[in-house]
Amino acid sequence: MKQGDIILTPLPQANGQVKNRPALFLRAMPPFNDALVCGISTQLHQQVPHFDELITHQDGDFTASGLVADSVIRLGFLAVIPHNQLMGSIGSIAPERHRRLLQNLSDYLRAV
């Protein structure tokens, strides 16, 4: 699995449960190369404008993503997951989308 892949992994939910969910592998984190991921949801109303991204059937990278429904890539739903907990890759997003998401996250973290 590599950065930009859509993976399946256990993610903590708001109610405390852990569920296997699709997530975007954003970056490998030092020192153990754990995966910084953000959750993906079909709850499109959860999109934060100018931060999260929708990926829909009309997008050129939708088929390659492995997702089955229009979804929101939620930068506000971050987790660091050890590699041994990653269940596998179902697809990937376009490199341009991956870069844009990283830029959105970086811009947000640097804002004063």
The pLDDT tens digits of the residues spanning 25-47 come to 999 999 999 999 999 999 999 99
Using CA atoms, how far residue 20 sits from 12, 27, 85, 86, 104, in Å, is 9, 19, 10, 10, 25
Contact 23/9 with Cβ under 8 angstroms? yes
Query: How far is the C-alpha of 48 from the C-alpha of 44, rounded, in Å?
Result: 10
pTM for this one? Answer: 0.93
Q: Return averaged pLDDT per consecutive 10 residues of the chain, 112 residues in all.
A: 95 85 96 96 95 97 98 96 93 98 97 82
Among 3.60.10.10, 3.40.50.1000, 2.40.128.20, 2.30.30.110, name the CATH number for the domain at 5-110.
Answer: 2.30.30.110
